[in-house]
Amino acid sequence: MSCYKYWSKISEIAADLSKHEIGDLQKSSLDEIIPMLDAIEVIAHDQAIDFDSAKHILDDQKMNDALKLIRRFYVKVGTRLEAHNAHTILESADPRAKLESFHFYDRYVVLVGNEGHMANLTAGDRVVFIGGGPLPLTLILLHKFFGVKGTSIEMLPEIADLSRKVLAKLGLDSEITVVDGDETALSRLDYDAVMVAAFAEPKERVFRNVGDAVTRETKILYRTYSGMRAILYAPVSVDDLKGFEELELILPTGKVNNTSVMIRKCPEALVRSDAQDACANNPAAAGPSHR
């Protein structure tokens, strides 16, 4: 189906968002914000829009400003929803119930279940998640489903502190820890697998530092956006993934937004030589946004 049916709708949504300062959305009630998010996700989740059609609209220069506004909104809303749920957990007599009330909870159940099986995670595995945020739901669910031990890396000290309080409230602080810093913290951690959050930025630096820290045997997973879902956030690029090769990916279904990709570090001989692009430019490493 042609993506042109959404051309004007995307412009309308962007025009509405332009009337608000993105910072003002932090002051708006969630009852006002969520319908705006829903309107965007209707487009993102339309399975009738094939990848070629989606690429046509997402690559169009006329859509560039609109996409910037929509993507900024999506990041702000996602962060706002996580922080809101984190605070409600801390205030609740039933924190588990509050956790499960998170707007995206059911989607994470599907997403994390798929990722754990793809990486063949088992009880006792140690997983580091780069960009854990205030609500480290991925690690919480990985522990619940697969019995893994988790470490969340978070750059902002106040967000890291909030995350620790949430884990303590849920009784998970002995199973999941939080480290202040960026991806370079990997050098002082023990792990069997590394996961890169969809919002971890800048991607090129993050993956370069991950590549410097891990071995070829390390399981690495990252999240990106493909097809029409890339309206929500810019996909990981081929250039970001230099020095890695793709092993497997899982495309999203239903209301799940992320494509999950498993990669590994290229052989040292390729990474350290001028031939490294032979690995990075392997068609399998081109990433789901090219499919």
Are 93 and 16 contained in the same domain?
yes
Contacts (Cβ under 8 Å, ≥6 apart) of 77: 25, 33, 34, 36, 37
Position 6 scores a pLDDT of 86
**Residue 289's pLDDT is what?**
38
Report pLDDT for 275: 44
pLDDT of 278 reads 47
Residues 139 and 64 in one domain: no
Which of 100, 132, 152 lies at the terminal end of a domain, its last residue?
A: 100
Both 233 and 177 in a single domain? Answer: yes
Sign of CA dihedral 82, 86, 91, 92: positive
The predicted model scores a pTM of 0.91
How does DSSP classify residue 258? Answer: P
Domain of residue 119, CATH code: 3.40.50.150
The whole-number pLDDT of residue 19 equals: 78
**Final residue before a domain boundary, out of 56, 85, 100:** 100
CB proximity list for 209: less than 8 A, separation 6 or greater = 182, 183, 184, 186
Domain that holds residue 196: 105-290
Tokens (6 digits) for 252: 């999203």
pLDDT of residue 271: 52
In the chain (291 residues long), the average pLDDT of successive 10-residue segments reads 76 86 71 93 93 89 91 94 97 98 98 98 98 98 98 98 98 98 97 98 98 97 97 97 98 97 85 51 41 32
